[in-house]
Structure 1
Amino acid sequence: MIRTLQLSTRLLRQQLSSRPALISANFATTLRGHGESTPKYTMDQVKSEIILHLGLERGYHPIPKSREHLLKFTPKPEDLPARSMQDSYTSALLPLSTDLQLQDNYVSHLGNVRMGRLMEDLDAFAVWVCHQHVNVPNLPENVNLPYTFVTILVDKITFSDLVTNVKEDIRISGHVSWVGRSSMEIVVWLEQKYQGVYKKITRALFLMAARNATNTGAAPVNPIVPATEEEKLILSGGEARKKRRQLIQAQSIFKVEPNDFEQSLMYDIYKKTTPTNTMELNKRLLPPHARWMSEWSTVTTIPSFPDNRNAHNTVFGGFLMRLALENSWTSAFLYCGKRPKLTHICDISFEKPVPVSSFIKLTSYVVYTELNYVQIMTVADVLDTTGGQVTTNLFYSTYKANEHVHQILPRSYHETMWYIQGRRKFKYALDLE
C-alpha cells in the first residue's frame, strides 16, 4: 500500500513537472543566453526607475502630488498593441558580493540570506515587469505612465534546497506569462551564484492588477500574442492556472461546506478527542503526541512607517510579505523546537490596502501538520485607535522539520474549518491533489 502510494505520488509529480506552468523556466534561460547575461539594473535602480516612470515625487509627502491629470491619458483597449512575452522579460541584480551594506540588510544570524527580504524584492520586481509589458504608443513623450499596479495575490512559491550565501550575488528575472483585460500574471525567478553558476532559489507567480493613475478604476493592458510555440504553451498554462485559482476560491472552506471526505475527517477528530468514559458537555481529550491549535499561535503588532510605503503611499505589499513570512517562521520554529526549512508559500492574498499610519497585527497559527511538515496560516489585521480591527491579508506557508512533529488538533468547529483549509493548502502546495 505504501509503495503504491509512493509510486502514485512520483507519477503525479512527473506529470506536474511537464505542465505548461513550468515550461517558462526554459524560456527564460533561452532569453538570457543560457544564464550568462548580466542584468542591466540593480534592485535599487529598479525601484528608482519605477518612481521615474510614474512621475512620483521623491521623499515622503503626507499628501502626495495629485495624478488626476493623468486620467485623461488612460488608454482604450483597442489603442494597445499586442506584446510577446519576450518584450516583458527583464532581470535585476542584488550585488551582495560587493555591497557590504546590502549584506548587513539581508544577512541572517547563520550567514544565509533572509527570505523575507527577498519577498520584498520579488514584489517590487513584479511591478517592474508590468512596466516592461505595458506599452502606450499614443502617450505623449513628456507624460508619465498613467497606471497604478497592484498585487492581487502570490501563488505557489516553491523553494529549492540551495543553501543561500549572503556574500554571493542574486539575480531576479521574469516576464509576463498571461494577461486578462486588466490583470497580468508575472512569473519571477530568484537565483544565486554558486561556484560561478546561477542556481535556482525559487520561482513565484504574481497576479497583478492594472489600475488607472489614481487607483480608482481598472485600466486595460496590452494583449499577448505568442511569438513562439513555447510562448503558446506558457500562455495556455496561464489560462489553466486562472481557472484553477477561480475554482479554488469558489470552493474555499470559508464559502462552502466541507466535502464528504473532510466531513469524515472531522468526525474522526471528534472521536479521537472525546473521552469515552463521560458524557460531560465540551469535555475534550488530547491524544498523545498532539497539541491543541488554540494554544499554538504567535502574535506580533508593529506600527508601520513611511519607509514601508510603496509608490502610492500605502504599505508596500512586499513589506507585508516579509513580516508575515518572518512571523510564520517564528511560529514554526517554536512549534518544532528546532530550525525548520521553508519549503512552500502556497497562497498570499491582498484584500485591502494598508495605510502607512497603520498598526499591523500579525498572527501565525499552526493549522495543520503531517509527518514532519507544519502548515502555517498568518493573518494580517489593521488596528485603529478605537479598537477596530480588519483583516487585510492572508498568508499560507509550509515548513519542514528534520523529524516528525506533534499533531495539531482543533478543539472548536471554527478551528476545525481552519484545520480543513490548512490541509487543503498543504496538499495544494505539495501538488498532492
Structure 2
Amino acid sequence: MSTEEKVKYPSVKNLKDTLSMQMGVETGYNPIAEDRSRLLQYLPTSQEELPKRSMGDSFVAGLIPLSTDKRLQDKYVTFLGRVRVGRLLEDMDMFAVMVAFKHIVNPKQPENEPFAYTIVTALLDRIDFTEFVPKPKEDIKISGHVSWVGKSSLEVVVWLEQEMDGTWHRITRALFVLAARNSTNSAAAIVNAIEPANERETKILSGGESRKQQRINIVRKHVSKVMPDQAEQKLIYDLYLRTTKVKSISSIRNRRLPPRCVWMHESSLSNIVFSHPEDRNIHNTVFGGFIMRQAEELSWALGFMYSKYRPVLRSISDINFQQPIAVGSLIQLHAYVVFTQMNFMQLMIFAETFDPTTGNSDQTNTFHFTYEVPELVNECVPLTYHQAMMYLDGRRHFQEVMREATMKK
C-alpha cells in the first residue's frame, strides 16, 4: 500500500479516539458513570425530525496498521504466525458502532454537548470467512456502511481486506445489528431513515428487509419455542436407536456409544474470565468484542481438542447480546461441539455472568461457530433431550451456513 493510501485511511485507534471525544468519554476509569440525563432533551420524538441519509453518507474506512506498529503485531499474531481472528472480531464490533454514529445526524444536537445517543450491539447476524489467510505484518483495511434501518435499529455491513501483490483480498464480511438507545440507555432512540442514492443502495436496502424477516422467522421457529418437525423428530429417534440396541423394554436404560462417535457432554470446554476496566466500551460496560474474542478462542481450542487438527473458522452466525455485562463481572464461557458432518464441526458457546456470593448465573450471549478440518471428524451424539435440542439447533445453523456458501459459488 502506498504512503498516500495510508494517509487516506485513519487508523482504527484514531477513529475510536474521535468517537470517544464525540461521546464525551474521558480517559481513565470511573466506576460511577457520568449522568447523561441532561442530553435526553436533544433527542427527536419522530423520524420525520431527522434528515434522511444515504448509505454512502455513513461509509467509513480505516486501517489496522500492522505493517508499522510492532506492538500491534504482537497483539494480533498467533503462535502459528497468523492473524488472531478474535482480535479482528473486536475491531469489527467497535467499527460497526462508529459507522452507526456517522449515520445519525440530529439537528437538535448542540455542538458543545456530547452525542445524545447510546449505541449497543444487539446481534451479529453473520460473518463468513474467505479462503484468503491474512498476514500479521501487513495492514488490514476495515470499511463499512449502514445497510438498513428500522425505527431505532441499524444493520451495518463491515468488510476486512488485505493487500497482496497490488490487489485487495477480502478476508471477511460481517453483518451487525445495532440498537440505538437514549443517552441514559433506558429506552429506544429514533434514528435517521435511509433514502437510497442509487439502484445498488435500493437493492441492498431490500436485502436488509429480507434479512430482518428471516431473523424474525428463525426466532419464532427456534427449538425453544416450537416443537421440531417430523423429519427432525425422526432424526433424534434414529440417533436414540443407534445408542440403545433395544432387545427388550428392560434394556432401554443402557446407552451405548456407536463407533467413531463422541457423547456431546464429553465434547465440551469451559473457562472463567474476569473483566477489567480495560475491557470496557464507551458506555462503561464490558465491550461486546471482548466477549466475542474470548468465545472464539475457547471454541477454537475445543475444536482442536475434538478433531486433533487445528480448525479453520468458516462462519460465525447468530450471536445474540441479551444484556450488558458490568465491569468486574465473572464471565463463564461454556463451549460444546453440538453437530458434526464430514470434516465440519458446529460449535455453540454460552456466556454467563456468575455471582460467586449467590451461585447464580445469568446467560448474556450465545455464539455459533462453524469450523473445518482436513479430515473426517467423529460424530457428536446427544445423550439427553436437552442435548438433542442443542444438536438440532446446531444442525440448522450448519445447514444455513452451507446453503449460503453454495449460493455464493
TM-score range, shorter chain: over 0.9
CA deviation vs aligned residue, 1:187-208 (integer Å, no higher than 9, x gap): 0001112223221000000000
Provide the rounded CA distance (Å) in 2 between the counterparts of 1:331 and 1:372: 15
Q: Which residue does the alignment assign to 1:389?
A: 361
CA deviation vs aligned residue, 1:305-350 (integer Å, no higher than 9, x gap): 0000011111000000000000111111100101011000022110
Q: Which residue does the alignment assign to 2:172?
A: 202
The 4+ residue runs of structure 1 with deviation greater than 6 A are none
Change (3 A) 1:135 1:250: same
Q: Is the 8 A contact 2:246 2:252 kept in 1?
A: no
Q: How does 1:5-404 map to 2 (within 5 A)?
A: 39-76=8-45, 77-277=47-247, 279-385=250-356, 386-404=358-376
Provide the rounded CA distance (Å) in 1 between the counterparts of 2:120 and 2:384: 36
Which blocks of at least 5 consecutive residues in structure 1 are unaligned?
A: 1-35
AA partner of residue 396 (structure 1): H
- Computed over aligned residues only, the root mean square deviation of the Cα atoms, in angstroms, reads 1.3
Provide the rounded CA distance (Å) in 2 between the counterparts of 1:119 and 1:39: 23
Provide the rounded CA distance (Å) in 1 between the counterparts of 2:131 and 2:142: 18
Shift of 1:273: 0.9
Provide the rounded CA distance (Å) in 2 between the counterparts of 1:65 and 1:367: 43
Q: Is the 8 A contact 1:347 1:397 kept in 2?
A: no
Shift of 1:392: 0.3
Q: Is the 8 A contact 1:156 1:429 kept in 2?
A: no
Q: Is the 8 A contact 1:375 1:398 kept in 2?
A: yes
AA partner of residue 73 (structure 1): Y
Provide the rounded CA distance (Å) in 2 between the counterparts of 1:306 and 1:138: 32
Provide the rounded CA distance (Å) in 2 between the counterparts of 1:73 and 1:138: 5
Q: Which residue does the alignment assign to 2:401?
A: 429
CA deviation vs aligned residue, 1:193-234 (integer Å, no higher than 9, x gap): 222322100000000000001100000000000000111000
Provide the rounded CA distance (Å) in 1 between the counterparts of 2:308 and 2:262: 14
Shift of 1:281: 4.2
**TM-score with structure 1 length normalisation?**
0.90
Q: Is the 8 A contact 1:368 1:376 kept in 2?
A: yes
CA deviation vs aligned residue, 1:208-267 (integer Å, no higher than 9, x gap): 000001100000000000000111000000000000000001101111110111011011
AA partner of residue 269 (structure 2): T
Percent identical pairs in the alignment equals 48
CA deviation vs aligned residue, 1:97-120 (integer Å, no higher than 9, x gap): 000010011110111110000000
SS in 2 for 1:235: helix
After the TM superposition, which of the residue ranges 178-187 and 39-48 deviates more from structure 2? 39-48
Q: Is the 8 A contact 2:43 2:108 kept in 1?
A: no
SS in 1 for 2:349: strand
AA partner of residue 385 (structure 2): Y
Count of residue pairs brought into register by the alignment? 398
AA partner of residue 392 (structure 1): T
AA partner of residue 150 (structure 1): V
Provide the rounded CA distance (Å) in 2 between the counterparts of 1:240 and 1:163: 31
Provide the rounded CA distance (Å) in 1 between the counterparts of 2:133 and 2:218: 32
